[in-house]
Amino acid sequence: MATNKEIIAFLKSKSTKAGFIDTLKIRYRPLICPFDELFKFVTPNAVVGDIGCGSGQFSLLLSKFTPVKKIIGLEISDQLVKNAQELFASEKNPVEHTFRVYDGQTFPDDLQTCDVLFLVDVLHHVPADLQQNFLNALAEKMNPGATFILKDINAASPLVVFNKLHDLVFSGEIGKERSLAQASAMVEKAGFKIIRTFKQTTAVYPHYFLVLQKVPA
């Protein structure tokens, strides 16, 4: 398993035309987001979906450090999709991949081909009144038996204030974080079975992880 030092060194070795802030996120996000914990859920030859893929840094790490077969990345920002495409173009022999812009509500049919889907620090950027519908729509596109990994910031921790400040500076918004208990209730309502939950604090950021499985309707 790659160390965080190796992960950051790998990302810093990549050159892109991304802006200053996006470049910082590409190179240094592993300092605050435990990507290495997420690698463990990728099975050999898996087709993986990265919902809210940003500039593609997590997708590129999956390509480099896990046995993934194909990556499907979705993002609402055209610029971030371009960043992801450029980032992958800087890598020799990356896995098969596709990145596309979507509207944040309607998920493409090819997510049905995914064995594993990741939603990493995305849910708290969805308006609070739309979060349940977002999860419902995602569940409807997944095949029964597929694995869904939801990682986000735990609103039950007093450290959540650091993420709110982070989002205000880097995204110009205040996040709509949920507690682990609230998120658990939401995913079960959407039709997911909870396989495992755990928490981890990285620097001053309180993360929760939900390991889920799509169950038959």
Q: Which of 10, 141, 123, 145 is nearest to 64 (CA)?
A: 10
Is the model's pLDDT at 4 over the cut of 90?
no
Is the model's pLDDT at 14 over the cut of 90?
no
Taken in order of first residue, the domains within the chain and their CATH numbers are 4-214 (3.40.50.150)
Cβ neighbours of residue 3 closer than 8 Å, sequence gap 6 or more? 36
- State the pTM of this model: 0.95
**Averaged pLDDT, 107-121:** 96
Confidence at 16, pLDDT banded by 50, 70, 90: confident
Look up residue 18 and give its DSSP letter. -
In this structure, what are the phi and psi dihedrals at residue 137, rounded to the nearest 5 degrees? -65, -40
Alpha-carbon span 128 to 176, nearest angstrom: 6
Residue with tokens 């173009």: 89
Q: Which of 78, 190, 171 is nearest to 125 (CA)?
A: 171
